[in-house]
Amino acid sequence: MLQNQITLKTRAMVGEEITHELGAKMVKDFQDANPNAVSANYIGRNIIERILAQPECEGIRFYNAINEFGRQTLVYVGIDGHDNIISQYVGVNESGELMKEKAIVADRAEPSKDDDWGWF
């Protein structure tokens, strides 16, 4: 049923605001179940805006990953309205010619220094 509800929405509409209390409970439940996992990551606005600015991008998918230094991180990519990863898109170069561009695949999330939800 939930899947049917999601497909009726555009991908850009997926997600919703929740209460601070529910967010804190969900984070605590994850941390209790996964005490050795990275509890939070920080991603800057600039890369998020660049991903979302790609043609037909309606959202971002975040993958849990291990970086080349062996640390838990996130890899994130743009998603189109059909829930497909945007791997390339057509752009216009400086000469006005159409060309295929590789889409953004991003990393370099940083573990957050403040993973305590005691701020509210």
Model pLDDT, residue 3: 57
Provide, rounded to the nearest whole percent, the portion of the chain with pLDDT above 70.
86
Helix, strand, or coil (residue 32): helix
**C-beta of residue 112 within 8 angstroms of C-beta of residue 40:** yes
> Average of pLDDT values for 18-28?
91
> Average of pLDDT values for 29-35?
92
**pLDDT at residue 111 tops 80:** no
CA 20 to chain centre: 20
> Average of pLDDT values for 43-68?
94
**Whole-number average pLDDT of the chain:** 85
Q: Give tens-digit pLDDT for 59-77.
A: 999 999 998 988 888 999 9
> Average of pLDDT values for 7-26?
82
Helix, strand, or coil (residue 94): coil
For the CA atoms of 20, 24, 25, 30, the dihedral, rounded to the nearest 10 degrees, stands at: 140
> Average of pLDDT values for 12-17?
83
- Structure-model confidence comparison of residues 79 and 42, the more confident one: 79
* d(C-alpha 42, C-alpha 61), whole Å: 15
Which of left, alpha, beta for 70 (phi over 0: left; psi -120 to 50: alpha)? left
* d(C-alpha 23, C-alpha 38), whole Å: 17
pTM (2 d.p.): 0.76
* d(C-alpha 17, C-alpha 66), whole Å: 29
**pLDDT at residue 4 tops 80:** no
Burial class from Cβ neighbours inside 10 Å (0-12, 13-18, 19+) for residue 116 reads exposed
